[in-house]
Amino acid sequence: MDNNSLLDTSPKPTRDLELAKKDLDKFGFCFIPNVLIEKDLEQAKKRLVDQAEAEEEQGVSFRDGGVNQNIYLSGNKVNKGAFTLSNGGINQRLWMLANKGQCFRDMVVHPYVDELVGHILGKDFILSTHSANITKPGGVRMGLHTDQWWMPQPIKPGDDFIRASEISRKASDSFLKPDTDLGISPPVVANCMWMLSDFTETNGATEVVPGSHLTGAHPNQEDQSIYPVKQAVSKEGTLMVLDGRLWHGTGANTGNTDRLGVLTTFCAPQFRQQENQTIGLDRKLWDSCSNKLRSRLGFKVWNAYGRIESSVEEMIEPEPKRIGELFPKKLKH
Ligand X SMILES: O=C(O)CCC(=O)C(=O)O
Task: Annotate 138-197 with DSSP letters as a single string.
Answer: TPPP---B-TTTTSPPP--TT-----GGG--SS--HHHHS--GGG--PPP-EEEEEEESS
Residue placing its CB nearer to ligand X in the complex, 41 or 263? 263
Residue placing its CB nearer to ligand X in the complex, 216 or 219? 219
From the list 51, 84, 238, 250, which residue makes contact with ligand X (rule: CB under 6 A)?
250
Residue placing its CB nearer to ligand X in the complex, 258 or 295? 258
The span from the CA of 256 to the CA of 204, in Å, is: 11
Q: Percentage helix, strand, coil, to 5, in the chain?
A: 30, 20, 55
Residue placing its CB nearer to ligand X in the complex, 273 or 295? 273
Beta carbon of residue 175, minimum distance to ligand X (angstroms, whole number): 17
In the region spanning residues 103 to 162, those forming contacts with ligand X, defined by CB under 6 A, are: 133, 142
Which among 167, 212, 165 is positioned nearest to 187, based on CA atoms?
212
State how far the alpha carbon of 305 is from the alpha carbons of 265, 286, 301, in Å: 20, 21, 6
How many residues belong to the site for ligand X (CB under 6 A)? 8
Residue placing its CB nearer to ligand X in the complex, 230 or 248? 248
State how far the alpha carbon of 146 is from the alpha carbons of 188, 194, 207, 259, in Å: 11, 18, 12, 21
Beta carbon of residue 138, minimum distance to ligand X (angstroms, whole number): 15
Residue placing its CB nearer to ligand X in the complex, 197 or 206? 206
Stretch that binds ligand X, among 106-114, 248-256, 304-312, 319-327 (CB under 6 A): 248-256
Q: Is there binding between residue 248 and ligand X (CB under 6 A)?
A: yes
Cβ within 8 Å of residue 292, ≥6 positions away: 109
Q: Is there binding between residue 200 and ligand X (CB under 6 A)?
A: no
Which among 201, 195, 191, 193 is positioned nearest to 252, based on CA atoms?
201
Q: Is there binding between residue 89 and ligand X (CB under 6 A)?
A: no
Residue placing its CB nearer to ligand X in the complex, 84 or 250? 250
Q: Is there binding between residue 249 and ligand X (CB under 6 A)?
A: yes
In sign, the C-alpha dihedral spanning 119, 122, 123, 126 is negative
Q: Is there binding between residue 277 and ligand X (CB under 6 A)?
A: no
User: Quick check: 210 and 9 in contact, CB under 8 A?
Assistant: yes
Beta carbon of residue 254, minimum distance to ligand X (angstroms, whole number): 14
Stretch that binds ligand X, among 78-86, 109-117, 160-168, 244-252 (CB under 6 A): 244-252
From the list 200, 206, 273, 295, which residue makes contact with ligand X (rule: CB under 6 A)?
206
What is the contact surface with ligand X in residues (CB under 6 A)? 133, 142, 206, 248-250, 261, 263
